[in-house]
């Protein structure tokens, strides 16, 4: 599976990015993949390559490129409980500086870059994201109705900004949505409220708590990793992409 590092022109410079795609001379649907806060690293490259192997061009931008190329901070090979405090002490200022304005400006650049790649098929794309990337995926899809056919977020803080912000976010969303929540992130009561908001906005969606999972369950280099949760993630993501991007 070919992969390469790319540079995406943005309003604030250039974002480095990882791309994985089939090497078969055929144009494939594009998927913009937002990393979790830990960023581009072997575990994310593994996810991107796996998805690309199912027939997609997958682009993973460095969210915090304004602070340097990936890896923006030094990460241990395994991000366990003991390492988390020091890692988050470095990450939180970067996350806090990544304002909604920056998110949307970057999303414009990422989608423009992705959809003009010669290896990417014409038409709508999909956006997926993990942790904070799940929220960024939803914001990107909402800002580009008609251009994004599917959006998926896993263990992401989709309703973190409150009910009013969630209502605004959903009001322009036209993509089909799947949200896979960690059991430690979402109560059944909160899930009902989120589903009601999605229904009220007319969003075609599935939204579920993945049993027994902790925040970060898709990430193989963390102590939250759950193999069953990762399999469930693929069982939901791949049919979503097949339904919305099939035939391109």
Q: What is the pLDDT of residues 178-215, one digit of tens each?
A: 999 999 999 999 999 999 999 999 999 999 999 999 99
Phi, psi of 234 (to 5 degrees): -65, -40
Phi, psi of 107 (to 5 degrees): -60, -40
User: Could you state, in order of their start, the residue ranges of all structural domains in the chain?
Assistant: 3-245
In tens, the pLDDT along 56-95 reads 999 999 999 999 999 999 999 999 999 999 999 999 999 9
Please give the residue that has the higher pLDDT: either 246 or 86.
Answer: 86
Average pLDDT over residues 215-222: 97
In the chain, the percentage of residues whose pLDDT exceeds 90 is 93
The residue among 217, 177, 213 whose CA lies nearest residue 195 is: 177
Angle between helices 163-171 and 132-143 (to 10 degrees): 40
Q: 168 is written with which tokens? A: 């605004």
- 3-245: CATH class: alpha beta
DSSP conformation letters of 33-98: EE--TT-SSHHHHHHHHHHHTTT-EEEEE-TTGGG-SSSSS---SSB-TTTHHHHHHHHHHHHHHS
Share the mean pLDDT of the chain: 95
pLDDT at position 162, please? 80
pLDDT at position 237, please? 98
């Amino acid at each position: 599976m070919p992969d390469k590092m790319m540079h995406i022109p943005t309003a604030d410079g250039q974002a480095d990015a990882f791309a994985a795609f089939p090497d078969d001379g055929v144009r494939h649907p594009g998927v913009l993949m937002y990393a979790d806060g830990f960023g581009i690293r072997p575990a994310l490259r593994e996810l991107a390559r796996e998805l690309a192997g199912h027939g997609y061009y997958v682009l993973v931008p460095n969210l915090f490129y304004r602070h340097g190329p990936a890896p923006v901070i030094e990460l241990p090979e395994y991000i366990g409980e003991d390492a988390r405090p020091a890692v988050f002490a470095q990450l939180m200022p970067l996350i806090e500086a990544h304002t909604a304005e920056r998110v949307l400006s970057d999303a414009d650049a990422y989608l423009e870059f992705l959809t003009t790649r010669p290896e990417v098929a014409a038409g709508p794309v999909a956006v997926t994201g993990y942790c904070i990337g799940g929220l960024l995926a939803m914001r990107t899809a909402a800002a580009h109705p008609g251009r994004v056919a599917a959006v998926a977020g896993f263990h992401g803080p989709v309703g973190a900004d409150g009910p009013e912000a969630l209502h605004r976010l959903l009001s322009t969303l036209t993509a089909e949505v799947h949200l896979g929540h960690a059991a430690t992130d979402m109560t059944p009561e909160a899930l009902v409220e989120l589903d009601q908001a999605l229904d009220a906005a007319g969003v075609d969606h599935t939204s579920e708590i993945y049993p027994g999972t902790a925040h970060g369950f898709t990430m193989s280099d963390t102590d939250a990793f759950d193999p069953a949760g990762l399999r469930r993630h693929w069982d939901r993501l791949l049919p979503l992409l097949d339904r919305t991007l099939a035939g391109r």
